[in-house]
């Protein structure tokens, strides 16, 4: 199900969107998702210190957010440059699919988000509905990034095929191990040689795979 809104990742701010004061490590603040202004598509994120949030609540309510929650700021940890370039794993795959926002990957995005929630990498902060669409908001526990994932309500008989789709995307790199931990088998099924055909001398035909 394709939507007109943009479901891109909403990154955490390092300062209050109202006062511009930088958050301190371990400080509690409020993350809020607003619908984009009239004439624009998608959503915008604003982060508020407690004082600014209290001021927002004291207004007439005309600027109340689509979704909000209290969270904790963690100062970013700068990794050595050589560690920042990695082969695609389950998390980076989900980020890429969210940014690309293609309708045919909706099921895969949902399964990946659930997988990462079980691994305690993502936290489900809210569930909202837009018309008939169920929207899940996930917060990355370390970076504070917010990912907006549509729940496609996958029928049980289709889950296995979606898992295989994810396994195919992850196969070949270190992410294959992550997929296995999540119960996704990336191994290709073994093929049984066909010996039903024999050549004229009675020797079973060759079943070597093509080069």
Q: For residue range 79-88, what is the model confidence (pLDDT) as tens digits?
A: 655 444 445 6
Would you say residue 191 has pLDDT above 80? no
39 pLDDT band, cuts 50/70/90, is confident
The confidence score (pLDDT) of residue 40 equals 76
The confidence score (pLDDT) of residue 83 equals 43
Of 179, 146, 149, the C-alpha closest to 164 is: 179
Would you say residue 125 has pLDDT above 60? yes
Mean pLDDT score, 79-107 = 78
Phi/psi at 204 (nearest 5 deg)? Answer: -55, 140
According to DSSP, the β-strands at 28-35 and 67-72 are antiparallel
3-state secondary structure of 56: helix
User: Which stretches of the chain are DSSP H helices?
Assistant: 50-57, 90-100, 106-118, 156-170, 175-181
Of 30, 192, 19, 184, the C-alpha closest to 108 is: 184
pLDDT digits (tens, 9 = 90+) for 177-190: 444 444 444 444 44
Distance of CA 76 to the CA centre of its chain: 20
Q: Are 87 and 174 in contact (CB under 8 A)?
A: yes
3-state secondary structure of 177: helix
The confidence score (pLDDT) of residue 6 equals 55
Mean pLDDT score, 4-21 = 84
Residue corresponding to tokens 């024999």: 198
The confidence score (pLDDT) of residue 80 equals 59
Of 96, 92, 91, 68, the C-alpha closest to 7 is: 96
pLDDT digits (tens, 9 = 90+) for 136-178: 999 999 999 999 999 999 988 888 888 888 888 887 544 444 4
């Amino acid at each position: 199900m394709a939507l007109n809104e943009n479901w891109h990742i909403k990154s955490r701010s390092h300062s209050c969107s109202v006062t511009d004061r930088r958050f301190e490590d371990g400080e509690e603040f409020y993350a809020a998702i607003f619908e984009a202004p009239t004439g624009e598509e998608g959503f915008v994120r604003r982060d508020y210190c407690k004082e600014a949030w209290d001021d927002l609540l004291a207004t007439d309510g005309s600027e109340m957010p689509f979704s909000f929650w209290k969270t904790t700021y963690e100062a970013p940890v700068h990794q050595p440059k050589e560690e920042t370039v990695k082969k695609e794993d389950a998390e980076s795959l989900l980020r890429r699919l969210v940014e690309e926002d293609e309708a045919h990957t909706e099921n895969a995005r949902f399964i990946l988000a659930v997988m990462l929630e079980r691994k305690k990498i993502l936290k489900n902060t809210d569930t909202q509905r837009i018309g008939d669409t169920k929207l899940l908001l996930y917060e990355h526990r370390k970076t504070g990034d917010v990912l907006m994932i549509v729940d496609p309500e996958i029928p049980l008989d289709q889950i296995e095929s979606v898992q295989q789709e994810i396994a195919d995307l992850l196969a070949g790199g270190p992410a294959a191990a992550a997929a296995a931990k999540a119960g996704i088998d990336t191994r290709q099924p073994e093929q049984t040689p066909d010996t039903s055909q024999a050549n004229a001398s009675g020797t079973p035909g060759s079943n070597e795979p093509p080069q």
